[in-house]
Amino acid sequence: MSDVQKMLANAREGRIADIARLLSLVENEDPEAAEIVRSTYADSGRATLVGLTGPPGAGKSTLTSALTAAYRQTGARVAVVAVDPSSPYTGGAILGDRIRMRDRFLDSGVFIRSMANRGVPGGLARATRRVVGLLDALGFDVVLVETVGVGQQDIEIARVVDTVCLLTIPGAGDDIQAIKAGVIEIADILVVNKADRPGADEAVRDFAKMLSLGATRTGWKTPVVKTAALEGTGVPELIDAIAKHRAWAEKSGEARRRSIDAMRSEIQALVRERVLRELASRLDRQGLDEMAVRVVDKALDPYAAVDALLESP
């Protein structure tokens, strides 16, 4: 048995160290990634994949923790993926969250992972998708993905999950403006967290009104759920809303449409990477140095050098 197959066998039995190692190999697209994905891909597609996104401090980690506890009570195995945006406001917070959550969940039914940011555009979303897909294939029943912010990157990360919960808090007028400006479209469920604070009911009303004005692109009516994550209030209702959205997405074909969309960009990225790798190795073979010398000696112009490199077998 290859090392990868040994690790997979251990990971399927729930060995944390092997799960973590496999995730790293897949996340970084190490040479073993292809074998890991080939050996597990058929098992993916069973987990409930939930994204929690929203402005810094809205309570995403607290709600993730409350959801984890509630799902654990039903016997589900839960994985949490915290996507680190490398924002100066939140740098370090993820590690704190992990430690807090690890203290709370010492059982092996919970696995927590944080993702490092990477420079490539779309790179973080793709890496997150691979990590989430592997956790799903390894048998986690629920994967919760926490991402900070309300920007373009979050929209991409939203495509990684089946159900996107967009968090906001009462009285966050600016957040509401930001959310209005496009991001609300990614929400499958709108969550007004910190409902223990004044103004929660008004916020729920405002959002419900705003949502009723917008045209529904898919036929799903985005519900507004009120939670107080610290106390756990509203968590069962949120779990219920997630289950309803999942059932609707399966039935309506929206889940399949999203998967196809996501897979289209995944395949495209893999093709691009492979082509680049092959071209790069061709450059080595042909001798870039030699070509540069010929260009400098005016035997060729730079474009002719590119043609010569690409056309050579």
Ligand X SMILES: Nc1nc2c(ncn2[C@@H]2O[C@H](COP(=O)(O)OP(=O)(O)OP(=O)(O)O)[C@@H](O)[C@H]2O)c(=O)[nH]1
User: Contact positions toward ligand X, by CB under 6 A?
Assistant: 56-62, 90, 93, 148, 193-194, 196-197, 228-230
Give the interface size with Mg ion as a residue count (CB under 5 A): 2
**What is the C-alpha to C-alpha distance for residues 206 and 216, in angstroms, rounded to an integer?**
17
CB within 8 Å of 20: residues ≥ 6 apart = 113
Cα dist from 102 to 52, 86, 91, 107, 112, whole Å? 19, 21, 19, 9, 8
Least separation, in Å, of the C-beta of 93 and ligand X?
A: 4
Least separation, in Å, of the C-beta of 190 and ligand X?
A: 15
Nearer to ligand X by Cβ, of 48 and 168: the residue is 168
Least separation, in Å, of the C-beta of 170 and ligand X?
A: 10
**What is the C-alpha to C-alpha distance for residues 80 and 210, in angstroms, rounded to an integer?**
31
Closest residue to bound ligand X by CB: 59
Asked whether position 193 contacts Mg ion by CB under 5 A, the answer is no
Least separation, in Å, of the C-beta of 303 and ligand X?
A: 49
Nearer to ligand X by Cβ, of 36 and 242: the residue is 242
Which of 150, 64, 142, 157 has its CA nearest to residue 109? 142
- Among the listed ranges 26-34, 56-64, 135-143, 246-254, the one in contact with Mg ion (CB under 5 A) is 56-64
CB-hemisphere CA count at 13 Å for 165? Answer: 34
Which three-class secondary structure string do you get for 187-214?
CCEEEECCCCCCCHHHHHHHHHHHHHHC
Nearer to ligand X by Cβ, of 12 and 72: the residue is 72
Asked whether position 227 contacts Mg ion by CB under 5 A, the answer is no
Interface with Mg ion (CB under 5 A), residue from 53, 61, 68, 193: 61
User: Footprint of Mg ion on this chain (CB under 5 A)?
Assistant: 60-61
